[in-house]
Amino acid sequence: MCHGGSALARIIREIRAGIALNIGVDTVGSISYALLPALTGMLVDDVLIHHRVSLMSIAMKYLVLLLVGLLCEIVAQLIWWRVSVRFDRSAKQQYFLAFLGQPPEDWHSAEGAGAELSQVTNNVTKLEQDYLTPLVAIVKDCIAMLVYGVVLAWYTSPLIAVTIFAMSLVALAVPRPFRTRLSAAASRYYSVLQDYTTRIEEFLRARLQIPPRAQSAFASTHWSQASSVARARFGYGRRKTIADGASGTCTELVYFLSFVVAGAACLRGQISVGAVAATLGYAKAFLSPLGDVLYSINAIHSTDEIRAQFETVAGKVSWRPSIDAGVGRLRCREVPVQGVSVRTGGRSPDSSVSSEDSGLVLPRLSLAPGDRVLLCGPSGSGKTTLLKSIYFSPADSGVVTVAGGTLADPRDAVFYSGDGSPVFHSSFRDNATYYGAFDWDEALLTRLSGGTGFYQRLAGLPDITVASRGERQFTLLARGLLSGSSVYLLDEAISAIDVDTAVALLDSFLELTAGASVVLVSHHAELLGLAGWRRIEVSPDHAGVGGSVVDVSDRRAKR
């Protein structure tokens, strides 16, 4: 069982009203079904034998109780589907927030995102199906046993019921109705779930480049996508509930027919049908929840390790939105801090470079506010590693500082664009604003695009991943511009764009980011016309003890 202060307990407390309503409606249904065997006994004793009441009176009472029980069963199941999908969504959100909020040095490689995603999905499913559902089922089964046990005391008698048991087996072969609609709803749910899986994997792979001030926007987007899965799952649950309810009704009708057959045998003096029918009905109703309780206890214990792991992960989340309120569309409107300085040197953080470069001693590089720096050097000299070490530097490393102090997280003031920068299966606007984390400014993006036509082509594109590589690079530039960062690290950020267009975009970008520091890595720098830029050449140290940088600012590239 979960402790009062645990993450699972908090989630369950937020859905406790739905759980209580489900238990209440289910209890009413149990009482209705508990009266059916007694009514069957009355049918035999008072109608068939003693003729004290009319057959129509018993039939009407039976029909009313059957309809009440069926209605309660359907309503209780619909309530439970709503409760379970809310639990599922909230548990996924807890995992997502924990993953999103982990510092870069705690993350595994991007290649591990699929395994992490699989673990999240499996854990949430296991928690719902083998912890929450059995936990509530135990309460309902105990109530059902109490109800049936009380009524059973009224109808104790010897049980000779081969015919009734045989008819019970027939109910198992009753085909479920609405099979086509149920299949379509299931297909819809799994399709939406697959789309959610694809998107969440993108988020996990992009986690290192998502600045903290954008995390709430990503959490909101994830909430929306998880809600789509929840709606599709609820649609599937609705179809399944109606199908199960209809199948249950058929089962009850089969039992009723078995009672009629037993009544006929009673008229021939073979058996006491009233006692047999009533007792068998209660025996079936009483033994079934007892077995369910034993199963539920075993299922709950099977989740001990997963619950412990969930509590560990959920404990890392610094803020927990309400299930009903969602997370809101919180956006970062504040202007990033100015006067940001960069000074590298020393050992690179393990999380910012590949495993083979882990522990690399970086060359020293100083970057003052407003600098325009061209980073030169042959392939493999460490330019990309140097830029990533700046962007992914730990908060207390002192690599990125402002007004003499270290930033809480460098990614909130530094923008990095390179081959690994994330582009999502979503619109240009969602990609450029990090799902609303940055303010949308159409005029600013129009000025950035200038006469290149990039913005006009991409503005209405619903999925930016189908765009060309050059168009995706423009999307990243647009994201950087909207971020309002103080430092821009552009690693081959315009390499897939033709030279004339690249020159126009770079000029617009520099004009719109006046006052910010820009570091550019480009293998075609000579064609970009970077007069006035400070040129820094990175030389690899083949001895493995670190590289060096040389200021070659007196060399100027010509257009």
493 and 534 housed in the same domain: yes
**pLDDT score for 352:** 41
- Domain extent, residue 514, equals 340-551
**pLDDT score for 333:** 43
Planar angle of CA 546, 552, 558, nearest 5 degrees: 130
19 and 105 housed in the same domain: yes
Residue at 41 is within a domain: yes
308 and 406 housed in the same domain: no
Of residues 233 and 273, the one with the higher pLDDT is 233
Q: Is the pLDDT of residue 555 over 60?
A: no
Least confident of 208-217, 311-320, 417-426: 311-320
Q: DSSP code of 533?
A: P
Q: Is the pLDDT of residue 6 over 50?
A: yes
Least confident of 7-21, 183-197, 471-485: 183-197
- DSSP line for 191-213: HHHHHHHHHHHHHHHTGGGS-GG
Split into its structural domains, the chain has a count of: 2
Give the start-end residues of each E strand in 392-551: 400-402, 405-406, 414-417, 487-491, 517-521, 534-539, 548-551
| Average pLDDT of span 299-303 | 68
157 and 303 housed in the same domain: yes
| Average pLDDT of span 262-282 | 60
Q: Which residues contact 99 (CB under 8 A, 6 or more apart)?
A: 116, 120, 204, 207
Of residues 396 and 488, the one with the higher pLDDT is 488
Q: How confident is the model at residue 158 (pLDDT cuts 50, 70, 90)?
A: very low
Residue at 224 is within a domain: yes
Please identify, among 298, 314, 330, the residue that sits at the C-terminal boundary of a domain: 314
298 and 369 housed in the same domain: no
CB-count exposure of residue 236 (10 Å: 0-12, 13-18, 19+): buried
Q: Is the pLDDT of residue 142 over 50?
A: yes
280 and 388 housed in the same domain: no
**pLDDT score for 172:** 47
Continuous segment of H or E residues that includes residue 60: helix 55-101
33 and 151 housed in the same domain: yes
Residue at 2 is within a domain: no
Q: Which residues contact 443 (CB under 8 A, 6 or more apart)?
A: none
| Average pLDDT of span 30-39 | 79
Q: Tokens 């809480």: give the residue.
A: 408
Q: Is the pLDDT of residue 132 over 50?
A: yes
Residue at 255 is within a domain: yes
**pLDDT score for 137:** 84
Residue at 207 is within a domain: yes
Per-residue burial over 418-431, b = 16 or more CB atoms within 10 Å of its CB, e = otherwise: beebbbbebbbbbb
Q: Is the pLDDT of residue 258 over 60?
A: no
pTM, to two decimals: 0.70
Give the model confidence (pLDDT) of 68-103 as tens digits: 988 998 899 899 989 998 998 888 888 888 777 766
3-state DSSP helix/strand/coil percent for the chain, to nearest 5? 60, 10, 30
Q: Is the pLDDT of residue 389 over 50?
A: yes
385 and 533 housed in the same domain: yes
Residue at 344 is within a domain: yes
C-alpha 295/C-alpha 130 separation (Å) is: 10
| Average pLDDT of span 389-402 | 80
Please identify, among 296, 314, 332, the residue that sits at the C-terminal boundary of a domain: 314
**CATH no. for residue 388?**
3.40.50.300
422 and 282 housed in the same domain: no
**pLDDT score for 296:** 67
**pLDDT score for 488:** 94
Amino acid letter, residue 497: I
**CATH no. for residue 80?**
1.20.1560
Q: How confident is the model at residue 431 (pLDDT cuts 50, 70, 90)?
A: very high
Residue at 67 is within a domain: yes
**Mean pLDDT score of the chain, rounded to an integer?**
75
Residue at 51 is within a domain: yes
129 and 51 housed in the same domain: yes
348 and 443 housed in the same domain: yes
Highest mean pLDDT among 176-190, 387-401, 470-484 belongs to 470-484
353 and 305 housed in the same domain: no
